[in-house]
Amino acid sequence: MREPPAPARPVRPSRRPAVVAVYVAAAGLGYLVGGRGLPPFRPAPSGAALAGARVGWVFSQPDPQAPAQAWAELAGDVATVREAWPAPLRKLFDLMTAVRGLKSGGQPDWAQAEQLCRALKWSRCDRASLEQLRVRGRP
């Protein structure tokens, strides 16, 4: 006598796609976050020292060239260096970064430079003077 067939096991929807999706999302998130320097696998001072050196290098070049993404990342270095400067000198730092274009892809931001120059109460803030500042404001 034949035994009746065992009842079919309930079919569970496969979770594999969900697992893969979660892992892919985790990998993407990790890559994006890591590209922004988080979590700090390296000690912060090393990053600050590199930021200072990069900003210093740009100041020391007459006409530095770099890809647009590198300029965008340099903005973070500029902010790091600025934080390390004494508060009374930050406007001067901003003025120097504006005339050298450190936050604008190497192109001087004359309008902002003029504003900062006037805020510092310097006697000559016209475009010609600021162009002189760009040339002379090098290490």
Partner 1 sequence: MIERSRPPALWAVKWVVGSLVVVLLSARWGQFRAEARRAQAFGAPANLSQAARTALSVAAARAAANGAWALGSVDSVKDASKFELDQLPPQGTGSPADTARRVQLLLRFGIVDTNPDGQAAIFGQVCMTDPQVCEHLKDAAERETRTRLVAPGNHLPLYFVPGHVHVPSM
Q: Which residues bind partner 1 (CB under 8 A)?
A: 10, 12, 19, 22-23, 26-39, 41-42, 49-50, 52-60, 64, 66-67, 69-70, 73-74, 81, 85-86, 88-89, 92-93, 95-96, 99-100, 117, 120-124, 129, 132-133, 136-139
Nearest approach, Cβ of 2 to partner 1 (angstroms)? 26
Whichever of 2 and 16 has its CB closer to partner 1, that residue is: 16
- Contacts of residues 120-126 at CB distance under 8 Å and 24 or more positions apart, as own/partner, are 120/91, 120/92, 120/95
Q: In whole angstroms, give the CA distance from residue 73 to residue 58.
A: 13
What does the alpha-carbon distance between residue 88 and residue 18 come to, in Å, rounded to a whole number? 55
Quote the least distance from Cβ 3 to partner 1, whole Å: 22
CB of 111 to partner 1, least distance (A): 17
Q: What value does the CA radius of gyration of the chain take, rounded to a whole number of Å? A: 27
Q: What backbone phi and psi angles, to 5 degrees, belong to 71? A: -65, -40
Nearer to partner 1, 2 or 58 (CB): 58
